[in-house]
Structure 1
Amino acid sequence: MILHPTRALFYLTLMMGTLISISSSSWLGAWTGLEINLLSFIPLMSSKDNQFSTEAALKYFLTQALASAILIFGAICLGLNSQLAYSFSNSFFSLNLIIAATLLLKMGAAPFHFWFPGVMEGLGWINGLVLMTWQKIAPMMLISYIFSPSVISFSFIILCALAGSLGGFNQTSLRKIMAYSSINHIGWMLAALLLGESYWLTYFLFYSFLSSSIVLLFNLFNISHINQIFSLPIANPIFKLALFCNLLSLGGLPPFLGFLPKWIVIQGMVNANYIFVITLMVTMTLITLYFYIRIGYSAFMLAHHEPKWLVTPYISPLSQISVIISFSISTMGLLLCGGVISII
């Protein structure tokens, strides 16, 4: 499908807003970039084919507007009187904490994640992928300027791991499962930020690749709920295998590529003596693996029911090649990375 010029313009301004935020030298410039990003994403969320898109756009706009208002308040307080910032620096409710909370609200991190699953439920898969990946770049880069090892920082990380893993229980909507998975991964990204921006960038790139691979498959087959996966056409089982291997890779199961960024973060956290935090995060990741395996339970069984009237959808050769390439990288990527590192 050819991209409409208007949507192409909004995607361009969406990317431009993020670039303005991460390249700004002041909080006011960062706020301006975030607003451009917000006002570009709202029209992209609306769709004639999805009756829930308007509700999702309204929820997203209200939460982002609230976060933007608090962010500009904190930026003005920092700019008006630098002594005010110094006087707050040793208190619990510091200006840095207020700004960090607004940025966590913007990216949907716990404990400010109340809007994220509901908005994801009302979006299409492509817009949901943008919300899970690109929309996190600017808040993550901005929060890296003020994020430092402290009790509050570790509390945010642990809350993200808990909310992301426990929230996925008893969910039948794949969009909500991916939303809670994203919240769990935000905790890992925040932990990577404490170690350095290179850790965060590595983790984010791997997470974006694996999420894109899964969303591509969900979008190809137009799947929204777990029970639809049970009746996936078996005519081409490589797609079913690719879906579940990518899910297990996103969960961080060791033979797959998704284990590599988690391995890097675990090693960095252990070297920094954050043993308790990383132990709790790994435990919560095992819970996320549970509901990934629950999605693929029927495919792992040798005997299952398949309706005879099921029509296999047409999949273009380009999409088939993309699925096979992403499946190969996700499955063999860890071995290839290990081989390259050993050669170097």
Structure 2
Amino acid sequence: MNYSKIMFMIMIMLTTLMTISSTNWIGMWIGMEMNLMSFIPFINKNKNLKSSRAMMMYFLAQSIGSIIFLFAILMNSFIMTPIMMNEFIKTAMVIGMAIKLGMAPFHSWMPEMMSNINWNEMMVLMTWQKVAPLYTLSNLMNNWSMYILIILSTIVGAIGGLNQTSMRKIMAYSSINHMGWITAMMITQTKWFMYLLIYSITVAMLCYMMNMHNTYFINQVSTMNESMTEKLTYSILMLSIGGMPPFLGFLPKWMAIQSMINTEMMILMTIMIMMSLLTLFYYMRMISSLMLMYSSMNKWMKYKSPNTMMVSLMLTINMSMPIYSIMSFF
């Protein structure tokens, strides 16, 4: 048992909770800095060139975001409440958080860094590491720069992943696209954490499957010797994360679309839906080789393995969206 790894994981969780529970900007900044220092050893546990490169990229990007955020706080040191801030300081704080989240146009570090780490580290980076900056961003609402970030993130996240063969880079661009959706939901209503939760569950399941089969590039998908159930689960996971109904991943996008209709943000919603279709194209490309490949095996489970239960659970979770929809009416 690696006690250092456990300690850093506990620190990552505690520092995020510290940021969420802070009542002022300095407390949030301290929480995010401690979180950064806890996550860096978690990346650099493998002593090789790739993990060192990823560590430096992450450190520099997060440091620049923190410096801009701290500069804005110190500029505004006498007025500590969000209501009384002027637009310049608020915009600087939004930019600082956008750099930390890897939102476009400050996204360049994210795909490069993600292509140098493994699936477990990617899972933490795409889920838990987003919580603290997103919470801080949610306290900076109704700023003009957020609309630009949403449009650019959805466009860059959709177009950037089209020409990629690395699964990790595709997931990085997917994450950029989803950050745009979460931020749009943040403007229209307060239930953005529901989107993040469902997205985190889907991403965690996908990273588990990729790690289980040691898949890092698209051409490796067709070589995976899987049972029919695993193929189906992998395909459904991809469609779910792309927001295809009736799978679970469509539910948060449905909530976001509904809230944008209620606030009459039609142009923004149209751009986001069109870009979401592009992301669905590269998800389909990731599963087409698996689904169209000829196979004489027609059994659901080819062999009994410890992963059988987990794969079946993933399948059930992703198919449960109609149940949630029915429950929402009551």
Q: Pick from 134, 139, 150 the counterpart of residue 145 of structure 1.
A: 139
1:40 aligns with 2:38: yes
Task: Please list the CA deviations of residues 239-258 of structure 1 after superposition, one character each: whole Å capped at 9, or x if unmatched.
Answer: 11111110001001112111
Are residues 338 and 261 of structure 1, via their aligned partners in 2, closer, same or farther at CA, if it must alter by over 3 Å? same
Alignment partner of 1:125 is 2:144:
no
Q: Which residue of 1 aligns with 2:181?
A: 188
Equivalent residue number for residue 309 of structure 1: none
Instruction: Give 1:341 shift.
Output: 2.9
Deviation digits for residues 196-253 of structure 1 (CA, Å, limit 9, x no counterpart): 222x01111110011011111000001100010011104x121111111100010011
- Give me the TM-score of the superposition, normalised by structure 1: 0.89
Q: Which residue of 1 aligns with 2:290?
A: 299
Structure-1 residue corresponding to 2:300 = none
User: Alpha-carbon deviation of 1:81?
Assistant: 6.2
Corresponding residue to 1:113 among 107, 111, 123: 107
- Contact 1:220/1:315 (<8 A) preserved: no
**Within 5 A, what are the aligned runs for 1:210-249?**
210-234=202-226, 236-249=227-240
The answer for the alignment partner of 1:340 in structure 2 is 327
Gaps of 5+ in 2: 298-302
CA distance in 1 between counterparts of 2:323 and 2:240 reads 15
Root mean square deviation of aligned Cα = 2.2
Q: Find the counterpart in structure 1 of residue 130 from structure 2.
A: 136
Aligned to 1:321: 309
Contact 1:56–1:123, Cα closer than 8 Å, also in 2: yes
Offset of residue 89 of structure 1: 2.1
Which position in structure 1 is the counterpart of 2:199? 207
1:5 lines up with 2:6 in the alignment: no
Tell me how far apart the structure 2 counterparts of residues 225 and 22 of structure 1 sit (CA, whole Å): 36
Does 2:171 correspond to 1:174? no
* Aligned residue number for residue 148 of structure 2: 155
Letter in 2 for 1:154: Y
Count of residues paired in the alignment: 325
Counterpart of 2:22 (choices 15, 19, 24) is: 24
Deviation at 1:151, TM superposition (A): 3.9
CA contact (8 A) 1:24 1:30 kept: yes
Provide the rounded CA distance (Å) in 2 between the counterparts of 1:292 and 1:239.
16
Secondary structure at the aligned position of 1:52 is classed as helix
Question: Is the CA contact (8 Å cut-off) linking 2:222 and 2:293 kept in structure 1?
Answer: no
1:74 is paired with a residue whose SS is: helix
The amino acid of 1:226's aligned partner reads: I
**Structure 1 portions without partners, runs of 5+:** 307-313
Does the residue aligned with 1:296 lie in a helix, a strand or coil? helix
Residue 69 of structure 2, aligned match among 71, 79, 82: 71
Contact preservation (8 Å) 2:64, 2:99 = no
Q: Percent identity?
A: 36
Asked if 1:250 is matched to 2:241, the reply is yes
Shift in Å, 1:299: 1.9
Offset from partner CA, 1:175-199 (integer Å, 9 cap, x none)? 000000000000000011012222x
Distance (Å, rounded) in 2 between the aligned partners of 1:107 and 1:17: 16
Matched residue SS, 2:19: helix
Which piece of structure 1 moves more, 50-59 or 100-109?
50-59
